Structure 1
Amino acid sequence: MASAGVVNIRRDVDDKFYRYRMPVLLTKIEGKGNGIKTVIPNMSDVSRALSRPPTYPTKFFGCELGAQTSFDEKNDRYIVNGAHDATRLRELLDGFIDKFVLCKSCKNPETDLILVKGDIIVRDCKACGKRTDVDMRHKLTTFIVKNPPAKTKKGAKKGKGAHADAGEGRGTESDDELTKKIKAEAADLNEDTALAKEDWSADTSAEAVKARVRALEGSMATASIGGEDDVGSDGDDADSPYGQLGRWVEENRGKEGSVGIYKKIQELGIEKKHKTLLVLVQALFTEDVVDEISKYAPLLAKLVTSEKHQKSLLGGIERLVGLSHPDLLPSVPKVLMALYQVDVIEEEVVTQWGTHVSKKYVDKDTSKRVRKASEPFLKWLEEAEDSEEESDE
């Protein structure tokens, strides 16, 4: 199957860093004459992003087009009879999202469909807590009542699979080379007078980093402008400081080093905000993220000043590998290793993150996939800790 791009679930939101995203709907025409049909090869992926059964949007297409539909859930085939243009089906998908996904009150797509009194469908919003009615005049409602959504399961158990060697490439030679890169760029930062006052240290030892974190955490409450980050908000406004940062970094990626990027962040007044890392990761890193982490290590060390910042950094990685570059999923252990080696994520934080699925930054299924991919690194951390304890005995 051809790889689909990713778009905002609400396509009226023109923000590349909007939290809720889905794959672009793909279509494939099969057959001829009266037997011609439109197959939607990635309907399961699209529906998963919407937290709806794939039969619902497929049936919605049929209702809107006056066409018969068929589903083969076992073989993951969802079909609408007739030849239908992909653009038209994407427009219809927007209609489905508006009618059966978005909360009528806050327009957030994080909703569940539930049946009230057996035959009334409402959208239960996890974002604002409100329940809003679905227009029961639409033909799809009859299908939903007859085929109600499965109830959400509480607390999934963490699975354990075979673990690869996450420590690959962590030899002395690579560590030395990495240290040289970090110290070289940190030296460049210290030469800059505007940033010299901020005391960028070339010392990247774990003790030094933790000391900086403790010192900076103490001043977070008074140093942050405008108080805490807007929890749960992704800055849908493209003119927000975060939207401006994202666009600027994408336009200047490769042209600016850590100093230039940090100056821009300072200019926007968001150098203390943990959400800055969420946006920065998505805008700055590409499929070469492992190498790029070492390149921008001093910048990350400067911005990551608390556990919240670490979690936001990991949230950005979730979006990067889970949504923007899904081909990077097998490289998640190497990405985490690179972050760990430059001391911007701590063992306790990444272990807690890796063992608790969360819908804060991506949808639940994507969160599961990213954490599943991280297992080799988490296993390596566990074994490394055991080895240290044994050597101390």
Structure 2
Amino acid sequence: MANVNIRRDVTDPFYRYKMERLQSKIEGKGNGIKTVIVNLSNVADQLDRPPSYVIKYFGFELGAQTNIDPKDDRWIINGAHEATKLQDYLDGFISKFVLCKDCKNPETVVSVKEGDIILDCKACGMRTKADGRHKLGAFILKNAPKKGKKDKSTKKADRRARKEAEKNGTAEENGNGHPSPGDSGSDQGEENGDLAVEAGSDDELTRKINSEAKELPSEPATDGGDVQWSVDMSEEAIKARAKALPEDLKQTLVIDEDAEEGQNGGKSAYDEFGDWIDEQAKEEGSVSKIKDVDIYKKAKDLGIESKHRTPTVLAMSLFDDNIAKQIEPRAPLLKKMIGDSEKHQKAFLGGLERFVGETHPNLMPTVSAILIPIYQEDIIPEDVLKAWGAKASKKYVDLQTSRKVRKSAEKFMEWLENAESDEDEDDDE
């Protein structure tokens, strides 16, 4: 099932917030005709909103009756409605009841406070109000998320926010740049007993600490103020600290020295590389007309010619609907940039999954035809292809799409097994 950007006004193929494209099925005839939204539960989950909010919004916009609590997960709108039309209405729901009004990110949790619908953004920390004038606003107020135990959407948003904070080196600060509760900058420190030594009785341990503290040499104040402690968070310092870790600890941490992320929220080198290929394809009239040497030179200029994520960008940007015929002419470039690294090879296959599963779903039936030249031109070896085909993965696409891609590759996998058997028989003769 093809994925689209949650904000469809964002055309960047590497935009991190994705959702399934709505799938609808029209059933019945005459006055009994109705539209079943097949994957509404999945889409609503990806938006961190109850499905009842989405189906009710459609009902208000279309002036049609809906079922808001089906036991069989069949979300129905009375009348015949095309999926493309519903997708357009979904954009309105996302704008009004999902996106943060400040940063426009969809990492929000909805709550009700004093008659207002609050969107608590886990990306920037802002709390903004949703459009209360819409009819859905009254429905949300009557069906507000339950207080107390965190719901699934809140937990999901919190996890994403923590990961983003850790990635940016700001795990100890919230979205407003203030210390998180429980750290040294929080009032809760006193409640947790952090100041017990100063506030407690003058017992034997306290007297000993105070006595030994007096004997410590003091540093002269440079400007009359408190000494300011800091940690070097430069890229070089972070990499140096990572390399100094024990090997067993390195394996438990996600340390990606190839991140090459853009500074201050800008585009990464990989984004620039993909955009450059798209621009060249438009200028030349076809992606096939871009020269291999120019592609390699651009990657080298960006410093990513040997990075393992670069093959993913190549798989997603270097081809069009004629990919099965375009692999062979590009084989020298692909072999040079993928090499013998299994990490690079898997990244290229992951890019192909995105290319077929998300941006070119019409090519889903042709996966076997695409893999044949990849094998014949020695771009990806047999053992890596077999391992890839044996198990679906959600690293690059959602699990359902990954399974569909591998299902389409079954003929190639059978051909690969037969080809190996034929070679064994020839050797025996």
What TM-score do you get using the length of structure 2 for normalisation?
0.54
Find the aligned partners of 2:92 and 2:370 in 1 and give their Cα distance: 37
Find the aligned partners of 2:390 and 2:262 in 1 and give their Cα distance: 24
> How far has the Cα of 1:322 moved from its partner?
0.7
Pair 1:44 & 2:38 matched: yes
Pair 1:334 & 2:376 matched: no
Unpaired stretches in structure 2, ≥5 consecutive residues: 99-105, 111-118, 125-144, 164-254
Q: Report SS of the residue matched to 1:296.
A: helix
Q: Which of 310, 313, 317 is matched with 1:276 structurally? A: 310
Q: Go from structure 1 to structure 2 and tell me whether the alpha carbon gap of 1:381 and 1:12 turns closer, same or farther (over 3 Å shift).
A: same
State the one-letter code of the partner of 2:412: F
Deviates more, 1:354-363 or 1:55-64: 55-64
Q: Report SS of the residue matched to 1:345.
A: coil
> How far has the Cα of 1:378 moved from its partner?
0.9
Pair 1:307 & 2:304 matched: no
> Is the contact between residue 58 and residue 79 of structure 1 (CA under 8 Å) also seen in structure 2?
no
Which residue is equivalent to 2:92? 91
Pair 1:121 & 2:155 matched: no
Which residue is equivalent to 2:274? 246
Which residue is equivalent to 1:57? 51
State the one-letter code of the partner of 2:400: D
Find the aligned partners of 1:90 and 1:364 in 2 and give their Cα distance: 24
> How far has the Cα of 1:89 moved from its partner?
3.0
1:91-141 per-position Cα deviation (integer Å, ceiling 9, x unaligned):
21453565579996469xxxxxxx999975233449947899xxxxxxxxx
Q: Report SS of the residue matched to 1:69.
A: coil
Size of the aligned set, in residue pairs, is 286
Q: Go from structure 1 to structure 2 and tell me whether the alpha carbon gap of 1:70 and 1:64 turns closer, same or farther (over 3 Å shift).
A: closer
Which residue is equivalent to 2:412? 377
State the one-letter code of the partner of 1:79: I
> How far has the Cα of 1:376 moved from its partner?
0.8
Find the aligned partners of 1:347 and 1:22 in 2 and give their Cα distance: 33
Q: Report SS of the residue matched to 2:363.
A: helix
Which residue is equivalent to 1:294? 328
State the one-letter code of the partner of 1:92: F
Find the aligned partners of 1:126 and 1:264 in 2 and give their Cα distance: 37
> How far has the Cα of 1:65 moved from its partner?
6.2
Q: Which of 347, 354, 361 is matched with 1:319 structurally? A: 354
Deviates more, 1:311-320 or 1:253-262: 253-262
Larger radius of gyration: 2
> How far has the Cα of 1:290 moved from its partner?
0.9
Pair 1:263 & 2:261 matched: no
> How far has the Cα of 1:313 moved from its partner?
0.6
Find the aligned partners of 2:360 and 2:425 in 1 and give their Cα distance: 39
Find the aligned partners of 2:332 and 2:393 in 1 and give their Cα distance: 28
Percent identical: 38
Deviates more, 1:336-345 or 1:51-60: 51-60
> Is the contact between residue 389 and residue 406 of structure 2 (CA under 8 Å) also seen in structure 1?
yes
> Is the contact between residue 272 and residue 303 of structure 1 (CA under 8 Å) also seen in structure 2?
yes
Which residue is equivalent to 2:247? none
Find the aligned partners of 1:86 and 1:60 in 2 and give their Cα distance: 11
Q: Go from structure 1 to structure 2 and tell me whether the alpha carbon gap of 1:130 and 1:53 turns closer, same or farther (over 3 Å shift).
A: closer
1:163-217 per-position Cα deviation (integer Å, ceiling 9, x unaligned):
xxxxxxxxxxxxxxxxxxxxxxxxxxxxxxxxxxxxxxxxxxxxxxxxxxxxxxx
Unpaired stretches in structure 1, ≥5 consecutive residues: 108-114, 133-225
Pair 1:79 & 2:80 matched: no
What is the root-mean-square deviation of aligned Cα atoms in Å?
4.7
Q: Report SS of the residue matched to 2:367.
A: helix
What TM-score do you get using the length of structure 1 for normalisation?
0.58
- In the TM superposition, 1:93-172 aligns within 5 A as 93=94, 95=97, 98=107, 105=122, 121-123=151-153, 124-125=155-156, 128=159
Higher relative contact order (CA 8 A, sep 6+): 1
> How far has the Cα of 1:384 moved from its partner?
1.6
